[in-house]
Amino acid sequence: MMGKNEQLGIVYTVIAYLVWGFLPIYWKFLGHVTAEEILANRIFWSFCFMILVLFIGKKWSSFVTSLRMIVKQPKTFFALAGASILISCNWFIYIWAVNEGRIVEASLGYYINPLVSILLGVIVLKEKLLRIQIVSFFFALAGVLVLTISYGQFPFIAFFLALSFGFYGLVKKMVKVDSGIGLTLETMFIMPLAFIYMIYGMIKGESALFSGSLHTILLLIGSGAATAIPLLYFAKGVLRIPLYLAGFIQYLAPTIMLIIGVVLYKEPFESTQILAFSLIWGALALVTFAAVKGATKGKSLKSLKQKRASH
C-alpha cells in the first residue's frame, strides 16, 4: 500500500515533469527574442526568484553559511561553478532548438539522457554495467545510427542536451547541497555575465526586456519562476519516492515535448524517425525493467531480513 508521503512525492514529481514537458510552448511565445537574451533573463530572474524563495522559506542564513563554506572549499566551489556552466549551456541549446523548430530532436536528448547518466556512472564512478543495460546501449546506438543516416548528419542537439545534463547530474551527485540553495548558487555564479549582457543590450537599444511589449517583458521576467518552480517541485518529490518510480515519471517530459513538436508545431516525424525513436524507447524499456527488478529484489531482501530478525 502506497503511503501518503509517497503519493505526495508522485504528485510533486509529476507536476515538475509536466511543467518541463510544456515548457517549449513558453519559449515559443518568446520566439521573436534571441536565444542569448532569453538565456540571460532566465538566469537573472531565476536567481532573483530563488533569493525570494530563500527569504520566504527562512533559508537565507543557511544560504549564507553554505556560501561561506563553499568559498573555503575550492573543490566544491569549482564543482558548482562547473555545474553552473553546464546547466547554462543546456538551457541555451534547448531554447535555441525549440525556437529553431527542433523540438523533436530536443525531446530525443532527454530520452537518451538516462542512458548517458548510466554510462557516466560506469566511466566516472566505476559502477558496474548489467547485461540488460549493455543490450539497451546497442538498441540506443542503432537508433542514433538510423537518425544519423536519415538526417544526413549526427543529431548534435540531442547529444549535447543529453551530455550537458548528464554531466550536470554527475556533478550534483558528487556535491551534496540543498536543492534550493544549490540552484541559487548555480545561477549566482553565472548571473553577473547575464546581467552585463542585459545592460549591454539596453545600452545598444536591442533589449526586448527594456523596449519590448508588456507581454514580452512579463514572459522574460516569468522565465525565472518557470525555471525554478519545477526544479523545486522535483527536489521535494524525488525525496519521497523510490528511484525506479522517478525513472518512470522522467519520460513524461520528453513524451509531451515530442507530441507538442509533432502535433502542435507540425515538425516532421517520418518512418525513419519512428524507427529510431522505437529503438531508443526499447532501450529505455530495458533500463527501466532492470531498475524495477533491482528495486523489487532489494525490497524482498529487506523484508526477508526483517522477518528473520523478528524470529
Per-residue model confidence (pLDDT) at position 150: 77
Percentage with pLDDT > 90 across the chain: 46
Tally the domains of the chain: 1
The rounded distance, in Å, linking the Cα atoms of 61 and 54 is 9
Let me know if residue 18 belongs to a domain. yes
**25 lies in which domain range?**
4-128+157-270
- Tell me the per-residue pLDDT of 169-192, one tens digit each, with 9 for 90 and over: 888 877 777 778 888 998 999 999
Give 244's pLDDT tier (boundaries 50, 70, 90): low
Structural domain contains residue 19: yes
- The DSSP code sequence of 88-107 is HHHHHHHHHHHHTT-HHHHH
List pLDDT tens digits, range 253-267. 999 999 999 999 999
Name the range with the highest mean pLDDT among 203-207, 231-235, 239-243: 203-207
* Residue scoring higher pLDDT (241 or 50): 50
Most confident of 89-103, 143-157, 270-284: 89-103
Residue 152 lies in a domain: no
Q: What pLDDT is attached to residue 211? A: 87
How many CB atoms within 10 Å of residue 207? Answer: 21
- Is residue 165 assigned to a domain? yes
Domain assignment of residue 280, yes or no: no
Contact of 38 with 227, CB cutoff 8 Å: no
In a domain, 187, yes or no: yes
- Mean pLDDT over the full length of the chain: 86
